[in-house]
Amino acid sequence: MKKLLIPLSLFFVGAVLFALSFLSFGSASGDLDISIVKSNSIMPAAHNVYANELALDGKYYLFKAKMTNNGDNTLEDVTVRYRIPGYVEWTELDVIGEMFPGQTASVRCYPKFKDDISEKMTESTEKVEIEISWDGAQEDDIIDEEFSFRISDRNEYLFTNIPAEEIAGWGDVYNNDALLACFVTPNDPIVKYYTQNIQEKILMGETASVTKDPNEAVRFLAGIYNATVLSHMVYSGTKGIPENLQDVSKFSQHNRLPREVITGNTGLCLELSLLYASVLSNAGLDPMIFLVPGHAYPGFRLNGQYYAIESTGIGGEGIGGIMSAEDAFKKGMEQLNEFMQKAQTGDPRYTVVDIHAVNQQGVTPMVLKDDDFLRKKVDDIVTSWGSTGTIAKTSNNSRVASGGNTGSNSGGGGSGGGSSLSFSIPGGWQTYMRPVPEIPIITAQVVAPDQSTTVTVFDVPASSGQEALGIINQYFQNYGMSMQYQLNGNQVTGQTYSNSGVFNWVGKTLGRNGGIRLVAVGAPDYLYNQSSGYITQVFNSIR
């Protein structure tokens, strides 16, 4: 029996080890390393964007977490959930079926706040609690993480979500441009009511979105302006748009919502722009907001052309007077001309927010409830318009002034009906007559020796510069190209888009032999700056 003691002991030890192996190998203890990248601040106005992982390529997450299984065991059904006490209940973000040793997984949180967050009138600091567990995880294994972040009030707009130390240029300052669309509220019942009153009481009916007639659309724009003048709305002169990169304090702005601008009867340039955009969108037009250093102004795009108005022309009797709608429109178009030139050179301080385009990328505005008190305030405002506020339709081209009609037939420099628009050709440039037989309206092209710059002469059977540009655009579209342009008097600024890229150009028009001649000079956008000397030289010589 003594001889069996040792071998039996060995067998017993082996049995114990074998039994223990099921306990430890089957255990699900894990060593999960977590790394979290978080957002510091959330804007309630943009809560629909934060909830949408597809909006703007998913850049507006609340946090993203990277988990690495540094243990020896495979973890099964790794579950990540989070909550924001008071705002979002425990919500499961992801369940990862298995995580092998050494495997990394990442999850992103796009929190769905309730719609009533758009009623938040004060900022607060809130907490996110994150819990990570897996099948068989013990109490000690479950990972709990938390961090604090700021929820601003519904009126705050942050120009950028890039930390101050990472800002390298103006493009970074305007990183949140697209989120301005969250403050454009065409479906707000108060804005709808206001728009309806403008259409009925001031315009006596309008058809801009149906007829796509630029004259009618400009009349509508003027109607909004006159509505603000008649209600004695004033411009609050505090600047809101950042003017220099060092002025970090200006990287956020407290925006009155459009309904608050209407009922409060005052607004900053950006707030007025948001109001115009809301009304234009509600009326079926394509609103634009143009951002320039220290300023913003609204407009719209119709049939490939941009229009703008200086909405702060309402000024105030106490601050320099009030512009007429015509002057405000004229100023807006002049600013737009400058905007186009600056934007073409790639100056990032000049940007435009195309509201509907951004809506389609998932940036949708907050939902606002109807309010009887505010409706009554709109009624009071409408009463203040009196009976003098109507703007009837007119066939006077100069009154509507799309910017181009006035200049087209009378000419921009020609001395008579038979004179041509001529220009000086720099030495060494090559001239080609009728270079594209399929496009008969191209009379000639003059090309620089390095082929970076081109002058094109169009002779179009049209009665106005506007009509001529429309015809040219139609020809281009047949060849897979398209044009966008800005006509101001007899001067034009534009871009032509094709499979080869973008071609920037400037030009002048003149009535000639019963039609319109356009002389346009330009270069591909990546060469525009370096060719600007020749372009300016040729442009100035066009007469």
Q: Footprint of other proteins on this chain (CB under 8 A)? A: 3-4, 6-22, 24-25, 35, 37, 53, 57-59, 61, 64, 66-68, 72-74, 77, 95-106, 108, 166, 168, 497-502, 524-527
Instruction: Report the residue number, 294 or 524, with the smaller CB distance to other proteins.
Output: 524
Instruction: Report the residue number, 13 or 436, with the smaller CB distance to other proteins.
Output: 13
CB 505, min distance to other proteins, A = 15
Instruction: Report the residue number, 59 or 254, with the smaller CB distance to other proteins.
Output: 59
Instruction: Report the residue number, 9 or 513, with the smaller CB distance to other proteins.
Output: 9
CB 477, min distance to other proteins, A = 14
CB 35, min distance to other proteins, A = 8
Exposed, middle or buried by CB within 10 Å (0-12, 13-18, 19+), for 422?
middle
Instruction: Report the residue number, 103 or 266, with the smaller CB distance to other proteins.
Output: 103
Closest alpha carbon to 393 in 531, 204, 221, 149: 204
CB 9, min distance to other proteins, A = 7
Half-sphere exposure of 127 (CA within 13 A, CB side): 6
CB 524, min distance to other proteins, A = 6
Question: Residue 216's Cα: distance from chain center in Å?
Answer: 25
CB 501, min distance to other proteins, A = 5
Instruction: Report the residue number, 423 or 534, with the smaller CB distance to other proteins.
Output: 534
CA distances from 388 to 229, 377, 384 (A): 12, 20, 10
Instruction: Report the residue number, 32 or 257, with the smaller CB distance to other proteins.
Output: 32
Residue 303's CB is within 10 A of a number of other CB atoms, namely 12
Amino acid at residue number 293: P
Instruction: Report the residue number, 220 or 528, with the smaller CB distance to other proteins.
Output: 528
Tokens of 351: 């940007």
CB 409 within 8 A of CB 511: yes
Q: Which residue has the tokens 């435009």?
A: 352
Instruction: Report the residue number, 143 or 296, with the smaller CB distance to other proteins.
Output: 143
Instruction: Report the residue number, 412 or 524, with the smaller CB distance to other proteins.
Output: 524
CB 104, min distance to other proteins, A = 4
CB 484 within 8 A of CB 476: no
Instruction: Report the residue number, 162 or 444, with the smaller CB distance to other proteins.
Output: 162
CB 480, min distance to other proteins, A = 9
CB 40, min distance to other proteins, A = 15
| Tally of residues, the chain | 543
CB 527, min distance to other proteins, A = 7
Q: Which residue has the tokens 């059977």?
A: 461
Tokens of 343: 């934007």
Residue-by-residue DSSP string for 159-219: S--S-GGG--SHHHHTTTGGGGGGG--TT-HHHHHHHHHIIIIISSS--HHHH--HHHHHH
Closest alpha carbon to 306 in 279, 285, 282: 285
Closest alpha carbon to 129 in 150, 117, 105, 145: 145
CB 207, min distance to other proteins, A = 33
Instruction: Report the residue number, 2 or 388, with the smaller CB distance to other proteins.
Output: 2
Closest alpha carbon to 329 in 315, 303, 310, 312: 310
Closest alpha carbon to 368 in 105, 192, 541: 192
Residue ranges in 208-324 assigned as alpha helix (H) = 208-211, 214-230, 258-264, 269-282
Closest alpha carbon to 45 in 128, 119, 124: 119
CB 483, min distance to other proteins, A = 14
CB 202 within 8 A of CB 227: yes
* Torsion sign (Cα): 392, 395, 399, 402: positive
Instruction: Report the residue number, 385 or 485, with the smaller CB distance to other proteins.
Output: 485
CB 74, min distance to other proteins, A = 6
Question: CB-based contacts of 82: which residues, under 8 Å, 6+ apart?
Answer: 88, 90, 91, 93, 109, 111, 128, 129, 130, 131
Query: How far apart are the C-alpha atoms of 424 and 519, rounded to whole Å?
Result: 11
